Amino acid sequence: MAVFSGLLALDSSPKSSQVEKIRKTGVERTKEEWKKILSPEQYRILREAGTERANGKVYLEFKNQGAGTYYCAGCNLELFSSKEKFDSHCGWPSFYDPSKAKNVKTKVDYHLGYPRTEVVCASCGGHLGHVFTGEGFDTPTDKRYCINGTVLKFVPLTDVKIGKGNSPKGEK
């Protein structure tokens, strides 16, 4: 894994055509490297902006998780915590705010033909889900970060040992 400071871009040269370059503290990996560290479903969601099935096994597990922290499955960056978790009854994990705002980025997504606000990991650029506002939830922000649970690594509060970079158990 390498750190790169540049824009998300695909170079047209044969060797680097599959290398994603991410802004700021981002990770640089080839398509093959991503496929080695992610499950096929995680790859489809994080790298191809897919969506997991609503109300699936991962969502049921999420609903039963207690206190803890949620990290990016692609790069181990801290994204959300159980403190901001709430049940929106939408079939996907929901949070009213990230645990560390600088660790998530948003951008406009037109994949369905109309604008939505996509949520991505600030480090690896992986697609996490979408954020919706003004839905009337009784939360401090009236936002719903609708996140694919498959791309989150949950670490129970009793297991969290933060090292450099705020990754679980000192991973980088």
Catalytic residues: 146
Residues 6+ apart with CB under 8 A from 164: 170, 172
Residues 6+ apart with CB under 8 A from 101: none
Whole-angstrom Cα distance, residue 118 to residue 127?
7
Q: CA–CA distance from 131 to each of 66, 152, 160 (Å)?
A: 23, 16, 26
Query: Residue 124's closest CA among 153, 155, 94?
Result: 153
